[in-house]
Amino acid sequence: MPRVVNPPSPIEWADLLAAQASLSDPKLQAHGEAMLKAILDQARNTQNWLFQNVINRIQAAHTVAAIGKISPAFHADPGLAFWLPSGFTSSWGHSQGGASSWWVEQQGVISHVTGAEEDFLYFDYPLAGTFTFSVEAYDGGWAEGHIAYGGLLFEAMGAPLASHVPSVGRHQNPSKSFPSLKREAFNRITLQVEPKKLRVLINGHLFHEEDDPSPTSPWLALFTKRERRTAYRNLSLQGDPVIPREVRLTAGDRMDGWVASYYGESQPPRRKAEAATPSPGISAAPAPMRPEDFDWSCTDGEIFGRRLDPAAQANPRLPTAATIAEAVQSRLFYQRPLRDGETLSYEFYYEPGETMVHPSMGLLAFLLEPDGVRLHWMTDGPENEWTGLKPDNVADEPENRRGPKPLPLKEKDWNAVTLMLAGDTIRLTLNDMLICERTLEPSNDRLFGLFHYKDRTAARVRNVVLTGPWPASLSPDLRANLAARRASESSAAERRARFALLGEKFFSLQAGDVLQQATALPPDRRYESLARWVLPNEDHPDFQLYVHVTPTNPAPPVAPLE
């Protein structure tokens, strides 16, 4: 075996903390910045995404603090009128201090600063019908930008890396080769949706095609990973998109958009994969395909959560088979958070001691017990939980209970549940009776989920439906400016902070587009547009002068780009 001459050095938390502390001292600030850069380089060399994520957040917070007084909520809200940041991670990632989503927009460029393991910027409304969405996404080292739709992630990666089209939650992650991606550049991604067809093109080349797009996850999103500093520009939506009046979150055996990976649990693959060829000398175990072989599955529109005896939970196929207790908690959640004014309804089957499931918002489960609603905080498991909470912890909040003390549960029958979010307050109704009202903490991600102790009961759920105060159609103004900001004015300091977070790299790549757009304007507006982009103002402190190279007499394309 060859000797490793220069093994990668581990990163010490003490070094990171010293660098962070140095940023607050003017005499040591330059040293702190240099230390952070060196630690970030080492984190990238060793594929240490945790440190990359932490450093990205420290650097971003330092950049913002240097601008001036800015709202504490600045990092949580990009200020976009039609897009919502959200992300999720595994229990292990959560135990390591996973970051919340941080997206920023300036001058039509949307950038990802840092975030959760799987990080999204969701379009506000569900989209169906026939439409084409296109966006230019940046692809570079630790800066890969993608999109998501229909419960799928479209992850094109530059050679020699493999590209993937995983399901949300990555319970299936098929790979493919795609050589037509430009590195360290913006790439045009085009999503074409029809009722029975979905196509994704990148720079005019077909990347992926589906003949049976999912009806259970009609959510369009910009997507990237936790530590990736990527950017998007030139968003466009054409065609005849339809905003459905309701979204049914299951259909037949389809449950696209549902995620069972928080505790490393299993769910059926969305598509049947081709049989893999085993390596020489290795026997390939056949993949289980029966619904009962999975922790969560769906048949005829009904979600099933399986029950396992404690002894059966020490299964070598589970990620943490060493302990039985970690498999007690079972969580299935939907990819998109519940928004203000939206209502989620479903029915669950209740048979004492046999079948029971509870609603959850984020990691907070509302236990529907006969004597009233109690609360359970989902832990990260015995190997990862640092709070000391037990996996079966419960808490009483009598001040949040509503209605009669004995809950109106119907035994050996279906029970109807409704969750309605009004501002920060979740209202929980059981069989048409209000049973709980509770204010959710700002840290709650509003991801609706189903929870049960799978060593105690099975779970059965049907008719899961999401409705909301969505418009009947998309207005011309919305479609003309998908990256529009909300009407509320932001301060000059916030605009400068957004510019600083994006960095000059992404703006320098805008020069060609800015010139092309200005050329199409009347002379007076052309000058005004260019002057605002070039000259220092409240949006950017310096002159913006960049070079854009284009061929003098370009050859005509042999085929349309899209």
Q: Alpha-carbon distance 520 to 526, whole Å? A: 8
Q: What is the pLDDT of residue 309?
A: 78
Q: Is pLDDT at 532 greater than 60 in this prediction?
A: yes
Q: Alpha-carbon distance 517 to 137, whole Å? A: 19
Q: What backbone torsions phi and psi does residue 349 show, to the nearest 5 degrees?
A: -95, 135
Residues 6 or more apart whose Cβ sits within 8 Å of residue 189: 134, 135, 136, 137, 146, 147, 154, 156, 200, 201, 202
pLDDT band at 4 (very low <50, low <70, confident <90, very high): very low
Q: What backbone torsions phi and psi does residue 291 show, to the nearest 5 degrees?
A: -55, -35
Residues 6 or more apart whose Cβ sits within 8 Å of residue 394: 367, 374, 375, 376
Output the six-digit token pair for 181. 């991606």
Nearest residue to 423 via CA among 299, 319, 338, 537: 338
Q: What is the pLDDT of residue 3?
A: 42
DSSP state, residue 403:
S
Q: Alpha-carbon distance 156 to 175, whole Å? A: 10
Angle among Cα 136, 140, 145 to the nearest 5 degrees reads 45
Q: Alpha-carbon distance 247 to 467, whole Å? A: 7
Q: Is pLDDT at 489 greater than 80 in this prediction?
A: no
Residues 6 or more apart whose Cβ sits within 8 Å of residue 191: 132, 133, 134, 147, 149, 154, 198, 199, 200, 220
Q: Is pLDDT at 319 greater than 80 in this prediction?
A: no
Q: What is the pLDDT of residue 546?
A: 80
Query: In whole angstroms, what separates CA 235 from the centre of its chain?
Result: 19
pLDDT band at 538 (very low <50, low <70, confident <90, very high): confident
pLDDT band at 240 (very low <50, low <70, confident <90, very high): very high
Residue range 140-158: mean pLDDT, rounded: 95
Nearest residue to 119 via CA among 332, 335, 266, 345: 335
CATH architecture for the domain at 258-269+289-467: Sandwich (2.60)
Q: What is the pLDDT of residue 73?
A: 80
Contact in structure between 205 and 99 (CB atoms under 8 Å): no
Cα–Cα separations (whole angstroms), residue 556 to 179, 180, 187, 190, 562: 22, 19, 19, 21, 15
- Domain segments of the chain as ranges: 13-67, 75-244, 258-269+289-467
Output the six-digit token pair for 222. 């910009």
Is there a common fold for 75-244 and 258-269+289-467?
yes
Whole-angstrom Cα Rg for the chain: 25
pLDDT band at 562 (very low <50, low <70, confident <90, very high): low
Q: Is pLDDT at 351 greater than 60 in this prediction?
A: yes
3-state secondary structure 295-350: CEEEECCEEEECCCCHHHHCCCCCCCCCCCHHHCEEEEEECCCCCCCCEEEEEEEE
Contact in structure between 235 and 482 (CB atoms under 8 Å): yes
pLDDT band at 163 (very low <50, low <70, confident <90, very high): very high
Q: What is the pLDDT of residue 324?
A: 47
Q: What is the pLDDT of residue 313?
A: 54
The predicted-structure confidence for 56-77, as pLDDT tens digits, reads as follows 999 999 999 999 888 878 888 9
Angle among Cα 267, 271, 274 to the nearest 5 degrees reads 110
Q: Alpha-carbon distance 145 to 189, whole Å? A: 10
Q: Alpha-carbon distance 361 to 350, whole Å? A: 20
Angle among Cα 542, 545, 550 to the nearest 5 degrees reads 155
Q: Is pLDDT at 202 greater than 90 in this prediction?
A: yes
Q: What backbone torsions phi and psi does residue 33 show, to the nearest 5 degrees?
A: -65, -40
Nearest residue to 111 via CA among 224, 227, 235, 230: 230
Cα–Cα separations (whole angstroms), residue 426 to 258, 440, 548: 21, 7, 51
Query: Where do the DSSP E strands lie in 411-496?
Result: 413-422, 425-430, 433-439, 448-453, 459-467
Q: What is the pLDDT of residue 21?
A: 95
pTM: 0.90
Q: Is pLDDT at 283 greater than 50 in this prediction?
A: no
CATH of 75-244 among 2.60.120.560, 3.40.50.720, 2.40.70.10, 3.40.50.10440: 2.60.120.560
Proportion of the chain above pLDDT 90, given as a percent: 69
Q: What is the pLDDT of residue 317?
A: 44
Contact in structure between 198 and 209 (CB atoms under 8 Å): yes
Output the six-digit token pair for 317. 């196929």
Output the six-digit token pair for 315. 């299964």
Q: In what order do the strands lie in the sheet with 197-202?
A: 102-106, 109-114, 231-242, 128-139, 185-194, 197-202, 205-210
Angle among Cα 484, 486, 487 to the nearest 5 degrees reads 115
Proportion of the chain above pLDDT 70, given as a percent: 91
Residues 6 or more apart whose Cβ sits within 8 Å of residue 41: none
DSSP state, residue 251:
B
